[in-house]
Amino acid sequence: MFKALVIDKQDDVQTVAISELDESQLPEGEVRVKVQYSTLNYKDGLAITGKAPVVRKFPMVPGIDFAGEVIESSDERWKAGDQVILNGWGVGESHWGGLAGCAQVKADWLVALPEGLSAKQAMSVGTAGYTAMLCVMALQQQGVKPEDGEILVTGANGGVGTISITLLATLGYTVVASTGRMEEADYLKSLGASEVIHRDTFSSAGRPLAKERWAGAVDSVGSHTLANVCASMRYGGAVAACGLAQGMDLPATVAPFILRGVALIGVDSVNAPYAKRVAAWEQLTKLLDLDKLAANTQDLTLEDCVEVASDLLAGKVRGRVVVDCTALRFVDNLA
């Protein structure tokens, strides 16, 4: 038996409760994992509050990522005792997820926890941090270098934003943070931002082309913000777009792309191939200052998740949260 957060829906009414489940109820998968830590990402906030149709079938255990220890595996790539990480693959959406004491998943979906990173630290990074790394790698692959000029990070106080700032600053880039919470400017500077600007600069309809400023950008906001960011890129600059915190629309023109050679690179973490995941986690382990990461992380229990999910969507959470799942599998607690 194990405890899990369970989302259910009856007659169009969604409920969320902590339930006790039997391991025989777990979905199909070659690898059973004792979940040690999970986290709350933006998508988990949407799933738990029901604000967007993230959950594809009910009942569902949310949690799009987890870190834990393999209990048993019918796939030779994994064995009991291996420390693993899972991000994405529809887990927490169409396959039971990480906000639980136990999970069962496909062997293909797992990566080994890199040496030097604990399960808790991996979830302080979480899917938000791993996506931030994919965005930074996308800019690097596009040839954006520190000497090219300033890099803009939107949604700066969020999970993707905070870790993007930290990674870019560590790599020597000059980072400008865009936020709706100017009161957090000192915090964003402590992460590595050299300047903090108000997100209102980008949030309403703008012109097809604006003054050229950014050599690169990481955007987790979408909508008018992404359109205005594209319009204010320098010639040949690149934008890594991964999110929709302002909206899913993109009210832009082609002007920045056809007149300034701007590259708009889509970043997806959910179905990213194995080699890219491993490369991202290796880079994260090398680049992140783990003390700074700990200071950027709040600890939660399963009981806290519903309230914090609403706070997350309301933009009230700063940085990252980790959910302690170590005591949710009863057989371990008895042992």
Helix boundaries (H) for the chain: 42-49, 119-141, 159-170, 185-191, 223-231, 255-259, 274-287, 290-295, 305-313, 330-334
Residue 258: left if φ>0, alpha if ψ -120 to 50, beta else—which one?
alpha
Interface with ligand NDP, residue 35, by CB under 6 A: no
**Least distance (Å) between residue 90 CB and ligand NDP:** 12
Tokens found for residue 122: 């991996």
67-106 residues in contact with ligand NDP (CB under 6 A) are none
Query: Of the listed pieces 158-166, 274-282, 302-310, 327-335, which binds ligand NDP according to CB under 6 A?
Result: 158-166
CA atoms within 13 A on the CB side of 60: 26
Q: What are phi and psi of 305, to 5 degrees?
A: -60, -40
Nearer to ligand NDP, 236 or 315 (CB): 315
Query: In whole angstroms, how far apart are CA 239 and each of 75, 101, 122, 141, 275?
Result: 39, 38, 26, 12, 22
Q: Which of 62, 101, 159, 216 binds ligand NDP (CB under 6 A)?
A: 159
Q: Does 311 help bind ligand NDP (rule: CB under 6 A)?
A: no
Residues forming beta bridges with residue 70, ordered by sequence position: 33
Interaction between residue 268 and ligand NDP (CB under 6 A): yes
Q: How far is the CB of 233 from ligand NDP (least distance, A)?
A: 18
Q: Which of 83, 104, 166, 269 touches ligand NDP (CB under 6 A)? A: 269
> Which residue type, as a one-letter code, is found at position 195?
E
- Token readout for 78 is 């994994």
Judged by CB under 6 A, the residue of 36, 83, 127, 166 near ligand NDP is: 127
Interface with ligand NDP in residues 189-248 (CB under 6 A):
199, 203, 220-221, 225, 242-246
Contact status: 305 vs ligand NDP (CB under 6 A): no
Q: Does 160 bind ligand NDP (CB under 6 A)?
A: yes
Which residue pairs from 181-187 have beta carbons closer than 8 angstroms and sit at least 24 positions apart in sequence? Answer: 181/157, 181/315, 181/318, 184/156, 184/157, 184/318, 187/157, 187/318
Q: Which of 60, 61, 119, 128 binds ligand NDP (CB under 6 A)?
A: 128
Nearest by Cα to 69 from 53, 80, 59, 60: 80
Total residues at interface with ligand NDP (CB under 6 A): 33
Cβ proximity to ligand NDP: between 26 and 64 the closer is 64
By CB under 6 A, is residue 328 in contact with ligand NDP?
Answer: no
Instruction: Name the segment binding ligand NDP (CB under 6 A); options: 10-18, 36-44, 50-58, 254-262.
Output: 36-44
Q: Is 102 exposed, middle or buried (0-12, 13-18, 19+ CB in 10 A)?
A: buried
- Minimum CB distance to ligand NDP, residue 137 (Å): 13
100 or 267: CB nearest ligand NDP: 267
User: Given the structure tokens 């987890």, which residue do they identify?
Assistant: 66
Residues at the contact surface with ligand NDP, assessed by CB under 6 A: 41-43, 127-128, 131, 155-161, 179-181, 199, 203, 220-221, 225, 242-246, 267-270, 312, 315, 317
